[in-house]
Amino acid sequence: MKKLINDPRNVVEEMLEGYVKAHPNSIKQLPGTGRALITARETREGKVGILIGGGSGHEPGFIGYVGDGMADGVAVGNIFASPSPDPILEVTKAIDKGAGVVYLYGNYAGDVMNFGMAAEMADLEEGIQVGMALASDDVASAPKSEKQKRRGIAGEFFIYKAAGAAADFGYDLDNVVRVAKKANENTRSMGVGLSPCSLPQTGEPSFEIGEDEMEIGLGHHGEPGIEKGPLQSADRVADRLVNDILADIEINKGDKVAVLVNGLGSTPKMELYIVFRRVEQILSERGIEIYRSYVGDYITSLEMGGCSVTLMKLDDELMKTIDHPVDCPMFVQK
Amino acid sequence: MEFTAKDWKDFFKEIVSLIEEEKDYLCQLDRKLGDGDHGVTMSIGWQAINEKIDNELANEEDPAKISITVGKTFLSAVGSSVGPLYATGFMRGAKVLKNKSVAGDQDLAEYWIAFGKGIKERGQAEVGDKTMMDTLEPFFKELERKFAETNDFLSSFKAAVLEAKKGMEFTKELMSKKGRSSRLGDRSIGAQDPGATSAYLILAAFLSFVEKRMAKAI
């Protein structure tokens, strides 16, 4: 696969260098590991710090979501790999304004260990209180009976949005964690993969799939999904994704939801809107109200082809968080 | 058997070259189960260690410090899930070496038992989950048993590495229960676990390093 890079070993560092130079008024890089970025703007004393993080290759996730209304800092891992505790701790120290820091990340073995180790160190060595909320929105990654095993995918975006707003509202650490966990509880995603991505360092496709095939439930790192079959129409795929989500979470007539149709990297917006069209039809047939919609590349997998659909069921508090304005380099909501 | 700071550094250097040789093979195994980067991840970590050995650790005489630095460097360089796992192993091993400039049979046995047990504690995986624990648990159990019986490090370690190998090979028959590959279910059967493989490579490298050293000594 062709890639516009220099040396595959330097892709993360060079991306971060470009990113920080492109947005000097929004983002600054901390001096230690180089993998710790924080907002360049002044944050209020007493505000709970929001720390996000994960592997690289998911841009705009996660570096793109540091800014007003979302995260105060991000710890950046290698491609598709959790950051080590070092940059997590570096960000924690920099963004703590005396009210503690909340870590938001996806439910993956590596992230759980590294963020967990960092949280212990923050508490023991720095005396900083850390709260955590994990994203586990992917319906396809484990059955409902083993919900604690589910991975976080595009729904992480809603969790950042909710927690970032809650911290801005002046909520304390426990309440920011509560809102983040509620956002996760109310969020479900399901994806489809059409074509693989390749890691810059290996150049090999992340999974194998035929020209005329699709894979339902494919993971954000190319982990095989739950079902491989012939490519179907956008409407049939959207039916499958939404029906699986609605079978997993009770969303009734009159309920309000936020919808995210997320591109995985190389799927054109045209196709994402075609999918959204069908999602809207299904929801309105059921009398479910779309309160706010997001369509685009929010959390990607390099140049993977395909998309995911995410629904977050809203109550009054989550509605307030979803309405909260955001100003990040890769995402603005007025 | 006496193992010095220089031996530890030489051994870690051997892993550096071994991982470079096996990088593609480990990636190839990982592509069947995960995102295909295990070899790359291991290489990033061991290359960082290589640099530490050549610079910061060049004049280091304390084996415990060397092992701690190896663990911390690996963790900082890779993160991921193997980062905390291997880092915990080398750091727990380092505790055994504390205040000892030379490790004897007993210390070496304890080092590798602590290495395996530390990783188990960090990862919370069981034998049969299709992870590096399938290599490591039979390994440290056999080492513990055999060494208690014989007090001879080399023969005990050799027997333990044999168990490690069986454990690694058995991961082909297993279904993944931990980590990203666990969601493959039945589809994970038939593929050898890359973590179990890299853990075996490290243990086997220590065995061949020690055997070579013994041969030289004679």
> pLDDT (tens digit, 0 to 9) for every residue of chain B, 218 residues total?
899 999 999 999 999 999 999 999 999 999 888 778 899 999 999 999 999 999 999 999 999 999 999 999 999 999 989 999 999 999 999 999 999 999 999 999 999 999 999 999 999 899 999 999 999 999 999 999 999 999 999 999 999 999 999 999 999 999 887 776 776 777 788 899 999 999 999 999 999 999 998 888 76
Contact A141 B183 (CB under 8 A): yes
**Alpha-carbon span A90 to B114, nearest angstrom:** 29
Q: What is the pLDDT of residue B183?
A: 62
For chain A, the average pLDDT equals 95
Contact B78 A85 (CB under 8 A): no
Give chain B positions within 8 Å (CB) of A201.
37, 40
Contact A199 B35 (CB under 8 A): yes
Q: Which two tokens stand for residue A291?
A: 């309160």
**Alpha-carbon span B69 to B53, nearest angstrom:** 9
CATH of A188-314, one of 2.40.50.140, 3.30.70.890, 3.50.50.60, 3.30.1180.20: 3.30.1180.20
- Model confidence at A70, pLDDT cuts 50, 70, 90, reads very high
Lowest average pLDDT, out of A87-91, A318-322, B174-178, goes to B174-178
User: Distance of CA B45 to CAs A84, A100, A132, B189, Å?
Assistant: 11, 31, 27, 28
Contact A223 B184 (CB under 8 A): yes
Helix (H) or strand (E) holding A194: strand A187-195
- Model confidence at A295, pLDDT cuts 50, 70, 90, reads very high
Q: What is the pLDDT of residue B176?
A: 83
Domain range list for chain B: 3-217
Give chain B positions within 8 Å (CB) of A77.
79-80
Is some CB atom of chain B closer than 8 A to the CB atom of A86? yes
Annotated catalytic residue A58: yes
Domain range list for chain A: 10-186, 188-314
Residue pair A282/A242 in contact (Cβ under 8 Å)? The answer is yes
Q: In a mutagenesis test of the A interface, which of B26, B35, B50, B188 is the best target, namely the one with the most A β-carbons within 10 Å?
A: B35
- Provide the H-helix boundaries in chain A: 11-22, 85-95, 109-121, 156-168, 173-185, 234-248, 269-285, 316-323
| 8-state DSSP, A265 | B
Rounded to two decimals, the pTM is: 0.87
Give chain A positions within 8 Å (CB) of B76.
33, 84, 86
| Geometric angle at alpha carbon A271, from A234 and A253, rounded to 5° | 60
Q: What residue has token string 């809203």?
A: A314
Q: What is the pLDDT of residue B23?
A: 96
pLDDT at A236 over 70: yes
* Strand A36-39 to A73-79 pairing: antiparallel
Annotated catalytic residue A23: no
Give chain B positions within 8 Å (CB) of A33.
76
User: Distance of CA A38 to CAs A42, A117, A324, Å?
Assistant: 10, 20, 20
Q: What is the pLDDT of residue A201?
A: 83
Phi, psi of A6 (to 5 degrees): -100, -85
Q: Say whether domain B3-217 belongs to CATH 1.25.40.340.
A: yes
Q: What is the pLDDT of residue B195?
A: 96
Phi, psi of A149 (to 5 degrees): -95, -5
Which residue would you say has higher pLDDT here, A172 or A143?
A172
- Provide the H-helix boundaries in chain B: 5-33, 38-54, 63-78, 82-97, 105-123, 133-150, 153-170, 194-217
- Model confidence at A258, pLDDT cuts 50, 70, 90, reads very high
Q: What is the pLDDT of residue B186?
A: 76
Rounded to the nearest angstrom, the minimum Cα separation between B90 and chain A is: 16
What is the interface pTM, i.e. ipTM, of the complex? Answer: 0.75
Fold of A10-186: Rossmann fold (3.40.50)
Q: Which residue of B has its CA nearest to A9?
A: B44
- Interface of chain B toward chain A, CB-CB under 8 angstroms: 27, 31, 34-37, 39-41, 44, 75-85, 122-123, 178-184, 187
pLDDT at A20 over 80: yes
